[in-house]
Amino acid sequence: MSELTEFSWGGEIVWTPSPAYSDGSHVTRFMERHNISTWDELHRRSIGDVAWFTDAMLTYLGIEFATPYKQIVDLSKGNAWPVWCVDGVMNITHNCLDRWLGTEVERKVALRYESEAGDVKTLTYGELHQKVGQVAAGLRALGLGKGDAIALYMPMIPEIAIAMLAIARIGGIILPLFSGYGAGAVATRLADADATAIFTTDGTWRRGRRGPMKPTVDEALLLAPGVEHVIVCEVAGDDITMEPGRDLRWDDLLRLADKTVDSEPTAAEDVVMIIYTSGTTGRPKGAVHTHCGFPLKAAMDMALGLDLRRDDTLYWMTDMGWMMGPWEVFGTLLLGATMLFYDGAPDFPDVDRLWSLVERHRITTLGVSPTLIRSLMQHGEEPVRRHDLSSLRIMASTGEPWNPEPWLWLFNTVGGGQCPIINYSGGTEISGGIVMGNVLKPLKPCAFSGPNVGMAADVVDDRGNSVRGQVGELVVRAPWIGMTRGFWKDPERYIETYWSRFPNVWVHGDWAAIDADGQWYILGRSDDTIKVAGKRLGPAEVETVLVNDPRVIEAGAIGVPDELKGQALVVFCVLSPDVEATDELAAALKAKIIAAMGKPLTPKAVVFVPDLPKTRNAKVMRRVLRAAWLDEPAGDLSALVNPEVVDTIRRAGSASSH
């Protein structure tokens, strides 16, 4: 990869913490409790004694166990297979809901919801506890209980949070599915997880149009006959077919039991959730998470990174099928804060919808993706200026690497140059972040303040040696409580994916870099690396050059086979609506790359496309770009929100000489 001198676009520090952020913050309070004077000292201690840190955080968060654990972590099987909270008994829903009863939090709003049509609902902690208990009782009346995998295939409505918590409450296994999946993707995951039930809706609304959900489930169950119960929540008012003996409406589920139920006693390490992630080949990977794992890592990151306090309202633009959905629910409730769900497009019916949500619901903590901001900023500052955004205290981002212009636009235009952007990067298997900003350390555009507290992250060369001043592989040298307990029914694949490169070291698959000021950068997936004539570079370096041109909204860069250079560079550009795709523009963009990167990196082709293949969380799927351009099998496309663009790219590739 290129030297960090090439990566100086991170620039100068633009935000320095003020007492308004540091005083009274979770991280300051935790440090004071343990006589720690600086963030750096806290991080050193947290990775030098992971057991101490984890135990101290469980105490700080007030996590209650029905039976206390005898040991915080057992590493006798190695770093890949730790056992946490040994012999402890706890159900995470008790800590999300029951422990707040009889306190002032019981009367607080736990969940605010707004539909695309503008309907608003709220649930207090007490009301959420009651509804979760009712649904849990209904599930038990159906004969469902401990160890049963129950899927969620629903839009972001209150019922999806209620159902999710009810599944955990009876000791079941939550199986969140992306609400945009087709029948084949739903069926594959239902069958792999041996699911016995699924929650869905009659349909959904997006951009003012109905979309099917129950019919998709019906089709999926032809391929996954093991599902015995389908619970349907009415959202769109669609006419649907209900199969007697299998299908049940939400209200009828509630009538099966006239009381709520207590949480099922579960071991701390009992499975609470399987989240599937897509791979380039083979079946999707089911990341296994436990009651004491994923939820607690989420709360730790929210507390020490986002500084989410009880009077805060968090909105993260997500789907429950992406890990940030369950992350938002578990973390917010464990901290006694408020979450917002919005079921709809962020630019419908007008491009200011996101900013109107901030104003209307007094959002204090806003989570977005770089791709979303690149899309919204093309409409200028006026849609932002229409709204009072003074409630914002923290902005956050994840999903893709930034480039400076949209980062600075968000920071200055939306945040007024005062509100920090807490970058956050990790993954489904992490239960949150490896690297993250925080409210105690300064920020540069696009950068991370450093590793999360408790994460022994490092950047290494091909031999596993730590490197500074150059780009390397992102690794983690010690286990953490949120790490996946392996892949569902596939432990060998888990070891091969993360633990086979260096002994007892997690290799995450991202390129990363640390600059001279100790700021960290994520530069994209290491398997997206482009190598032209012996020079390795990350796609983000090329894409940054392209999107800095005001005519380009988004860009994707890939390497394709080349007889002379080994690989050649091909770039894809999504243009602003008023810009015409011409040969002259392609030549101009090619010249910009040559000027910035050098003549050896001259692109073989500059391709104009209507969109880039992306997941719902706006992550660009470069391996799909490459496969489509080369007319090769594209692997699992079930997570794409725009699969139609693949054929467009494939046709463009076929028309070229490659």
Q: What is d(CA 455, CA 512) in angstroms, rounded to the nearest whole number? A: 15
- Amino acid occupying residue 559: G
| Res. 280 pLDDT band, cuts 50 70 90 | very low
Strand 203-206 versus strand 247-249 pairing type: unpaired
The per-residue b/e assignment along 61-88, b for 16 or more CB within 10 angstroms, e otherwise, is bebebeeebeebbeeeeebbbbbbbeeb
- The helix (H) or strand (E) run that includes residue 169 is helix 158-169
Domains by residue range for the chain, with CATH: 4-90+271-524 (3.40.50.12780), 100-255 (3.40.50.980), 529-655 (3.30.300.30)
pLDDT per residue as tens digits for the range 435-450: 999 999 999 999 999 9
Rounded mean pLDDT, 56-72: 98
Q: What tokens appear for 434 in the block?
A: 């490896």
Which of 110-119, 205-214, 479-488, 499-508 shows the lowest per-residue confidence on average (mean pLDDT)? 205-214
Between 528 and 235, the higher pLDDT residue:
235
Instruction: Tell me what pLDDT residue 281 has.
Output: 44
Binning pLDDT at 50, 70 and 90, where does residue 617 land? low
pLDDT of residue 519: 93
DSSP string, 34-64: TT--SHHHHHHHHHHSHHHHHHHHHHHHT--
Collapsing DSSP states into helix, strand and coil, what is residue 558?
A: strand
Q: How many CA atoms lie within 13 A of 215 on its CB side?
A: 9
Is residue 395 within 8 Å of 421, Cβ to Cβ?
A: yes
Higher-pLDDT residue of 641 and 114 is 114
With a cut of 90, say whether residue 633 has pLDDT above it.
no
CA-wise closest residue to 571 among 598, 551, 547, 535:
547
User: What's the pLDDT tens digit per position in 512-554?
Assistant: 999 989 999 998 777 676 777 656 666 877 888 898 899 999 8
Instruction: Kindly report, residue by residue over 161-194, the tens digit of the pLDDT.
Output: 999 999 999 999 999 998 988 888 899 899 999 9
Q: Mean pLDDT for the chain? A: 91
- CA dihedral in degrees (180, 186, 188, 191; nearest 10)? 150
Number of Cβ atoms within 10 Å of the Cβ of 175 = 28
- CA 548-550-551 angle, 5° bins: 115
pLDDT at 8: 46
DSSP 151: E
pLDDT, tens only, 329-362: 999 999 999 999 999 999 999 999 999 999 999 9
* Mean pLDDT, residues 293-320 taken together: 97
The tens digit of pLDDT for each residue in 459-477 reads 999 999 999 988 899 999 9
Token pair for 413? 């235009």
Least Cα distance to 127 among 112, 143, 149 occurs for: 112
Average pLDDT on 568-574 reads 92
pLDDT at 533: 62
Sorting pLDDT into bands at 50, 70 and 90, what band is 278? Answer: low
CA dist., res. 645 & res. 658, Å (int): 19
pLDDT value at residue 205 = 86
Q: For residues 282 and 326, which has the higher predicted lDDT (pLDDT)?
A: 326
- Output the pTM of the full model: 0.86
DSSP single-letter state for residue 108: S
pLDDT digits (tens, 9 = 90+) for 43-53: 999 999 999 99
For residues 575 and 129, give the distance between their C-alpha atoms in angstroms, rounded to a whole number. Answer: 48
Contacts of 119 (CB under 8 A, 6+ apart): none
Under a CB-based contact definition with an 8 Å cutoff, are residues 320 and 156 in contact? yes
Among 211, 207, 201, 258, which residue's Cα sits nearest to residue 235? 201
Look at residue 654 in the predicted model and tell me its pLDDT. Answer: 73
Q: What average pLDDT score do residues 141-151 get?
A: 97
- Both structure tokens of 411: 């920071």
Give just the sign of the alpha carbon dihedral 267, 273, 277, 282.
Answer: positive
pLDDT given at position 9 = 46
pLDDT tens-digit series, residues 196-224? 999 999 999 888 888 899 999 999 999 99
State phi, psi for 176 to the nearest 5 degrees. -75, 135
Question: Are residues 289 and 484 in contact, defined by beta-carbon separation less than 8 angstroms?
Answer: yes
Ordered DSSP codes for 534-555: TEEE-HHHHHHHHHTSTTEEEE
Model confidence at 2, in pLDDT bands (50, 70, 90)?
very low
- Report, as an integer, the average pLDDT of 216-238: 94
Q: What are 397-437's pLDDT values in tens digits?
A: 998 788 888 999 999 999 999 999 999 999 999 999 999 99
Cα–Cα distance, 263 to 403 (Å, whole number): 46
SS3 readout for 248-291: EEHHHHHHCCCCCCCCCCCECCCEEEEEEECCCCCCCEEEEEEC
Most confident of 71-80, 210-219, 539-548, 617-626: 71-80
- Residue 10 above 80 pLDDT? no
When pLDDT is averaged across residues 607-633 and rounded to a whole number, the result is: 84
The predicted structure's pLDDT at residue 7 = 44
Phi–psi pair at 570, nearest 5 degrees = -125, 130
5 pLDDT band (50/70/90 cuts)? Answer: very low
Close Cβ partners of 511 (under 8 Å, ≥ 6 residues apart): 1, 471, 472, 473, 474, 522, 523, 524, 525, 526, 529, 538
Burial of 251 by CB count in 10 Å (0-12 exposed, 13-18 middle, 19+ buried)?
A: exposed
